[in-house]
Amino acid sequence: MTHYSAIIVGGGQAGLSASYYLQQLDIDHLVLEKHTLTHTWRNQRWDAFCLVTPNWQCALPGYPYAGDDPHGFMKKDQIIAYLDGFIAKVNAPVREGVTVQRMTARAEGGYQLNTSAGDFSADQVIVASGGYHTPIIPRLAERLPVEIKQIHSEQYRNPQALPQGAVLVVGSGQSGAQIAEDLHLAGRNVFLAVGDAPRCARFYRGKDVVDWLADMGYYDIGVDTHPLREGVRDNTNHYVTGRDGGRDIDLRRFAQEGMTLFGRLQTLQGSVLSFAPDLAANLDAADAVYNRINASIDTFIAEKGIDAPAGVHYEALWRLEHEVTELDLADSGITSIIWCIGFQPDFSWVDVPVFNGRSYPGHQRGVTAQAGLYFLGLPWLHTWGSGRFSGIARDAEYVAGQLASRSRR
């Protein structure tokens, strides 16, 4: 059995960031990656994908964004190029194509990892495999007509790859809203089931909203001091886009332009889908968040005496006349359904008692109650940026420091 002081499970930006700091601390370690390094970015993003945060927030450890468009938004190929540079910079000790099948605590201390490439052991382990593992697809999908093509958002690539005909997109979070826009811009007939995802402005009072929130210190707020505490981890990300230089996503505008909106998907009877009568409420709630964020920026500008263009309160472009709660698949011409309702974490291979009743690891800034076991790269591990390029360096440096302190002890 090969032994290391530390093993990192996962070769995405989180695992590589952890390796960067462990190398600086001169701690021998190994990175185990199930697929290839940064696999998700390369293989689970659509062709027109781009970042929703500006390029200046790409701040992986030792490798900040160095391009000439800090307030732009990297497209898929640019993101991959950025990650390739980071991979070369870190030069992590990695084994790709290795699946960790089970991890257990050893009686003598440390952990044993049974993998597809044999057994390994380590004094300490950093689980950096993220929190998006198993695509969520509702059971009613099993009863849909076989001639309808069904894919999850991670499988979507472009409108041309789908059969001719109308498309139903289920879910209006970041992926759902952007995929619906991608199809809409391509001239496809789109039906969108709208959930409770909030939205925000792209630009407001002369700057990107992300820039304002950074100035206001929002990205430095930890879970331990956030008003919602750990409940913030249940929040859905705001939908907005960096496409074509960045803009708002306004589902009401899509409706004006011919997209058909429904509330949350509920049931299927025969070929008829039923939706909750909550479309108007969901749209109003998203707009309310949009205006609240802008109002907080207004307050900040006033308090600091900042010279900025005047603000504008968003008013709905389109109002629902009446709720339509049924959709007959046979009559609508729908030939494809894209499930954009997220992922479930799968840590079933971690056979160590660190999880709560919702299969989420209990931790403080990634440090669990089990000696020498850490998590990294989870959304809101500590701050809003924990699962993103902007905040992973801070988290990885902290976890690596905790690991090193325990190693010295």
Query: Do 172 and 285 share a domain, yes or no?
Result: yes
Whole-angstrom distance, CA of residue 403 vs CA of residue 374: 8
Whole-angstrom distance, CA of residue 32 vs CA of residue 142: 35
| β partners of residue 6 | 29, 124
Whole-angstrom distance, CA of residue 127 vs CA of residue 403: 12
Write phi, then psi, for 331 (nearest 5 degrees).
Answer: -85, -20
Of 339, 362, 388, the domain-final residue: 339
Owning domain of residue 151: 135-339
Question: What is the per-residue DSSP string for 202-251?
Answer: SEETTEEHHHHHHHTTGGG--TTTSTTGGGGGGPPPPB-B-GGG-B---H
| pLDDT score recorded for residue 231 | 79
Query: Do 160 and 182 share a domain, yes or no?
Result: yes
Whole-angstrom distance, CA of residue 21 vs CA of residue 215: 27
Query: Do 43 and 174 share a domain, yes or no?
Result: no
| pLDDT score recorded for residue 133 | 86
Pairing of strands 373-375, 94-96: unpaired
Neighbour tally for 231: CB within 10 Å: 11
Query: Do 25 and 51 share a domain, yes or no?
Result: yes
User: Is the CA virtual torsion 180, 183, 187, 192 positive or negative?
Assistant: negative
Q: What burial letters (b/e) apply to 312-328, b meaning 16+ CB within 10 Å?
A: eebeeeeebeeeeeebe
Query: Do 333 and 390 share a domain, yes or no?
Result: no
Q: What burial letters (b/e) apply to 44-76, b meaning 16+ CB within 10 Å?
A: ebbebbbbbbbbbbbbbbebebeeeeeebbbbb
Query: Do 385 and 256 share a domain, yes or no?
Result: no
Q: Give which of 145, 139, 177 is closest to 333, Cα–Cα.
A: 145
Q: Please count the structural domains in the chain.
A: 2
Q: Is 192 helix (H, G, I), strand (E, B) or coil?
A: strand
Q: Is 259 helix (H, G, I), strand (E, B) or coil?
A: coil
What is the pTM assigned to this prediction?
A: 0.95
- Read off the tokens for 277: 């009568």
| pLDDT score recorded for residue 234 | 74
Whole-angstrom distance, CA of residue 79 vs CA of residue 51: 8
- pLDDT digits 0-9 by tens, 193-217: 999 999 999 999 999 999 999 999 9
What CATH number does residue 390 fall under? 3.50.50.60
Of 303, 319, 339, the domain-final residue: 339
Whole-angstrom distance, CA of residue 354 vs CA of residue 347: 10
| pLDDT score recorded for residue 360 | 87
| pLDDT score recorded for residue 256 | 96
Query: Do 367 and 270 share a domain, yes or no?
Result: no
Neighbour tally for 196: CB within 10 Å: 14
Of 323, 339, 355, the domain-final residue: 339
Query: Do 327 and 395 share a domain, yes or no?
Result: no
- Low-confidence spans in the chain with pLDDT less than 70: none
Query: Do 183 and 127 share a domain, yes or no?
Result: no
Query: Do 114 and 181 share a domain, yes or no?
Result: no
Query: Do 89 and 179 share a domain, yes or no?
Result: no
Query: Do 60 and 200 share a domain, yes or no?
Result: no
Question: What is the per-residue DSSP string for 55-119?
Answer: GGG-EETTEE--SS-TTS--BHHHHHHHHHHHHHHH---EEES--EEEEEE-TTSSEEEEETTEE
